[in-house]
Structure 1
Amino acid sequence: MCWISKSAVCLVKEDVAQGSSVSFLSTEMQKRRLIVLLLCVLSSSCVYCQLDNNYVEDEIDAKQVDAPTRGFFGKHWRHQIVDAQSKLSETNNETMAVSAIAEETSTDVEKSASREGKFFSLFTVVKFANDDCTTVSNDNGTCYSASECSARGGVASGSCAGGFGVCCTFSYTCGQTTYQNSSYFSNLNYPSNYDATGSCQLTVNKASSNVCQLRLDFIVMMLVQPETNDSNCNRDQFIVTGGSRVPSICGTNNGQHMYVETGLLGNSPITLTVVTSGTGFARQWRIKVTQLNCDSIGRAPNSCVQYYTGVSGTIQSFNYDGISGRQLSNQDYTICIRTESNFCSIAYSVCSGGVYSITGPTGGSATAVGTPIGALVGSTTCNTDWLTIPCASDNGRAIQRGNSVCQDRLCGDAFASVVQTTSGTVISSVRPFRVTVHFDGFEANVPTSVTNVQGQFNNRGFCLSYIQQPCTS
């Protein structure tokens, strides 16, 4: 019906206009024209037959959608056609948007979606944990989405979570507060130097109630050396308050670290403070602050200010640099080494090219003009400064040569578990592996021209290498 041309309709209209009456049914031609007219009247509501209103037969546009309906069939057919095309258009837009996402993220996802006939937005499917990550500059960060990193005030550097996240770092300086894990505390205008008198503080709040420790890594720590008259940190010092007790330090401590207990209950903040006094020194610090959960495998045992893992490694006193660093006064802390699987003892020795100089009671020091005092042991002679290594021996057995029992306190300017002039190897089978440091409040420095100095002068601290020994049975 709907392919009848407009000219046929016009012929009928023309006959009527010329005064034709009902009698025109007597001729064959008039019958055909009447049939055509009746058919067009019945089907006038068909969208494709509305040619007298300037609609193109093979096109459906906005005019057809807005056009008045012409009969039941016309309304029904037109709505079917328009609604079907509208839904098809909407489906195509959604598919194209999702396809674009799939194309950017994974070809496999796109192929899988094509097989299924439909697929969901990846933003509702892809989730990732806020784990630690490494930036392009080799800093530690936290994996966030790009928008969340920006909202938290971080800086994105590199990707993570298979490209769905960014490695976000958080840097803070004087007078600021952080709730973020893997954040950095630096001097003003870092990496430029700081040369002024002041107090720079960072307040660290727990990222969650499950945090039990902070690990502070001194990426850079360059402060003024301790005073020469007593080796105390009177001019510059780094102080931690609000958590477990850790020693105040100064001088050069690049690469060192500390663990601070935050407590199991509450959210009392930990305050990191760098106090500087005077000018004329190029100070610089950058400290990485890592928050450790109570169940973290990286958590240090209680009371351990430093914690090392691995079969072998190196431990040093604070402000040890092998050349000009001096032993700090008022140091009391414990260094812990994790016992690795199938290892039952540990051996210590002075680092290659390193120095061991712990105070003895009398005599000279190896770093000053005078008579070296060698290795000293026991609480009677090591009564001012010492290292405690539980049941230290020179051969791994409790009974040493000369039928003496193993020693706990070691001091002097040579490292050994027996009295001798040179350093040797010290072995302990007591687990867990621990070294306790005790330096008193008097560690003076004197010119090398002074002879026969007391053991409390010119001490350098220690650098020890360790290697765990496998179990023999």
Structure 2
Amino acid sequence: MGLKCLVILFGLIKFCKANETMNTDTLSKVADSRATGGIYLTKWNRGLERGHQDTKKIEHRFWSPVQRESKFLSLFTVVTFPNGGCAGASGDNGTCMTARECSSRGGSANGYCANGFGLCCIFMTSCESSTSENGTYFVNSGYPAPYDGTGSCELTVIKSHPDVCQIRLDFDRFSIAGPEQMNHVCNQDQFIVSGGNPIPAICGTNQGSHMYVDAGIGTTNPVKLTFVTSGNPFERLWKVKVTQIPCNTIYKADEGCLQYYTGVSGQLQSFNYHPVSGLQLSNQDYGICIRIERNFCGIQYTACVDTVNNRSRAFTLTGNSNNPVNSMIGSGSGPNNCANDWLLIPCAANVGRLQPAQALCTDRICGGTFAADLSMQASSVLIGDCCKQNLGVAERSLLF
């Protein structure tokens, strides 16, 4: 990013020229003038004029000719700072820039940055608009108040540079109507992403979740984000942060990863996960990628405890997690196989399990007990592999 300059001090210092050589009469007249408080203007005669020229010749022997402009010296204090990320006074993230640049690009100043020399510029937009600014917030009409209308609200995301490969969406606020109760299909409100890789439509409560959208290389079609609201009255609220990711960065996700997690620990949860009102969304098919960190050669997964419903595990895919049931694993046509909904973890094994002589590679996990074995007891699942592992979620997903 380019450096932006801010001039904070400027001034002019005027240096007076050395007094010309004057004779005794002239000096006495000046003295008389000062004594009387008057102003004395010397009337130069030819003798004085000639003496002045002689003096100038003597000066030129020792000093270079003084130009008229040398009477003035301009002093500038210039501060430069990069257009990097900053935290605004409201808690939103923005870009550090000058006040003039922020205003010309349609942003709003929200606190200071660069030790007070710059302003944290926040970009926030709503329905039927477009943006090429990195870090733009896409909010509902009337935000921060909820929206109770119906219709379509769309934002067009244009690449800020041809080297941008991905768009990351962070759902700081996301509350729209959930799926219907029978088949868990989003047939009222929907959030739709188009223009990039295929992404399933989602609805319900998704605050804290994120998505990665593959936007291709070079100048391609823009990515469009659309909230469709219909049906019964509902207090809808959304605030989606749009971050553009260059191709050559280390934090770019692999292609095909709808979600991408880093760090040595953390939690994953399905879209519309809520311990009380959440329902697993139908027609979901996407990949979750977890980066193996340096000096680690495996990933261990354990179902979280559901404290709200007093359950020891927050996992259910085609099964009832309130009552212990045999776990269902693998693919095929048997009664214990996952044929409809499943979580795909390649070559998963229960922690502490003795490997049989001919080790089988369990891939699909479903049911109401999270385990890679046919068991009534939930278990942690371990993948011992020194490369990045992908989780494929078909139909419905889970919370770890």
Task: Tell me the CA shift for residue 352 of structure 1.
Answer: 2.5
- Determine if contact 1:400/1:406 at 8 Å carries over to the other structure: no
- Determine if contact 2:349/2:382 at 8 Å carries over to the other structure: yes
Rounded to whole Å, the distance in 2 between the matches of 1:76 and 1:243 is 86
Task: Tell me the CA shift for residue 188 of structure 1.
Answer: 0.7
Rounded to whole Å, the distance in 1 between the matches of 2:129 and 2:45 is 74
Rounded to whole Å, the distance in 1 between the matches of 2:291 and 2:163 is 23
Partner of 2:321: 366
Match of 1:300, SS state, is: coil
Q: Within 5 Å, which residues of 2 pair with 1:161-200?
A: 161-200=114-153
Is the alpha carbon distance of 1:246 and 1:462 closer, same or farther for their aligned partners in structure 2, counting shifts above 3 Å?
Answer: same
Rounded to whole Å, the distance in 2 between the matches of 1:140 and 1:250 is 25
Match of 2:82, SS state, is: coil
Partner of 2:274: 321
Describe the superposition over 1:138-187 as per-residue Cα deviations: whole angstroms up to 9, x where unpaired: 22111112221122121222332333322211001001111100110000
* 1:389 counterpart (328, 345, 368): 345
Is the alpha carbon distance of 1:181 and 1:59 closer, same or farther for their aligned partners in structure 2, counting shifts above 3 Å?
Answer: farther
1:433 aligns with 2:389: yes
Structure with a larger share of its residues in helix: 1
* 2:179 counterpart (226, 232, 239): 226
Rounded to whole Å, the distance in 1 between the matches of 2:329 and 2:165 is 37
Is the alpha carbon distance of 1:72 and 1:258 closer, same or farther for their aligned partners in structure 2, counting shifts above 3 Å?
Answer: farther
Task: Tell me the CA shift for residue 324 of structure 1.
Answer: 1.6
1:356 aligns with 2:311: no
Match of 2:72, SS state, is: helix
Partner of 2:224: 271
Q: Within 5 Å, which residues of 2 pair with 1:424-463?
A: 424-430=379-385, 431-439=387-395, 461-463=397-399
Rounded to whole Å, the distance in 1 between the matches of 2:274 and 2:38 is 85
* 1:377 counterpart (317, 326, 329): 329
Match of 2:298, SS state, is: strand
- Determine if contact 1:224/1:281 at 8 Å carries over to the other structure: yes
Rounded to whole Å, the distance in 1 between the matches of 2:38 and 2:318 is 99
Q: TM-score with structure 1 length normalisation?
A: 0.69
Partner of 2:17: none
Corresponding residue pairs, total: 358
- Determine if contact 1:239/1:274 at 8 Å carries over to the other structure: yes
1:335 aligns with 2:310: no
Rounded to whole Å, the distance in 2 between the matches of 1:228 and 1:273 is 23
Q: Within 5 Å, which residues of 2 pair with 1:25-104?
A: 64=41, 70-71=45-46, 73-74=48-49, 77=52, 90-91=72-73, 94=74, 98=75
Is the alpha carbon distance of 1:377 and 1:400 closer, same or farther for their aligned partners in structure 2, counting shifts above 3 Å?
Answer: farther
Match of 2:123, SS state, is: strand
Rounded to whole Å, the distance in 2 between the matches of 1:262 and 1:144 is 27
Rounded to whole Å, the distance in 1 between the matches of 2:126 and 2:174 is 14
Describe the superposition over 1:370-400 as per-residue Cα deviations: whole angstroms up to 9, x where unpaired: x754310011221111011010001377x74
* 2:265 counterpart (312, 321, 325): 312
RMSD: 3.1
Task: Tell me the CA shift for residue 60 of structure 1.
Answer: 11
Is the alpha carbon distance of 1:279 and 1:77 closer, same or farther for their aligned partners in structure 2, counting shifts above 3 Å?
Answer: farther
Task: Tell me the CA shift for residue 2 of structure 1.
Answer: 3.7
Match of 1:302, SS state, is: coil
Describe the superposition over 1:115-141 as per-residue Cα deviations: whole angstroms up to 9, x where unpaired: xxxxxx233xx3322212222232211
* 2:297 counterpart (332, 336, 344): 344
Q: Percent identity?
A: 43
Q: Partner letter of residue 213 of structure 1?
A: Q
Match of 2:100, SS state, is: helix
Rounded to whole Å, the distance in 1 between the matches of 2:43 and 2:128 is 72
1:419 aligns with 2:383: no
Q: Where in structure 1 are there 5+ consecutive unaligned residues?
A: 5-45, 99-120, 441-460, 465-473
Q: Partner letter of residue 331 of structure 1?
A: Q
Rounded to whole Å, the distance in 2 between the matches of 1:131 and 1:357 is 43
Task: Tell me the CA shift for residue 89 of structure 1.
Answer: 6.6
Is the alpha carbon distance of 1:59 and 1:235 closer, same or farther for their aligned partners in structure 2, counting shifts above 3 Å?
Answer: farther
Rounded to whole Å, the distance in 1 between the matches of 2:175 and 2:151 is 15
Is the alpha carbon distance of 1:253 and 1:50 closer, same or farther for their aligned partners in structure 2, counting shifts above 3 Å?
Answer: same
Higher Cα Rg, which structure:
1
Rounded to whole Å, the distance in 2 between the matches of 1:413 and 1:334 is 21
- Determine if contact 2:314/2:321 at 8 Å carries over to the other structure: no
Structure with a larger share of its residues in strand: 2
Partner of 2:60: none
- Determine if contact 1:252/1:321 at 8 Å carries over to the other structure: yes
Rounded to whole Å, the distance in 1 between the matches of 2:278 and 2:149 is 22
Is the alpha carbon distance of 1:77 and 1:396 closer, same or farther for their aligned partners in structure 2, counting shifts above 3 Å?
Answer: farther
Task: Tell me the CA shift for residue 57 of structure 1.
Answer: 8.5
Match of 1:162, SS state, is: helix
Rounded to whole Å, the distance in 2 between the matches of 1:323 and 1:413 is 17
Task: Tell me the CA shift for residue 259 of structure 1.
Answer: 0.2
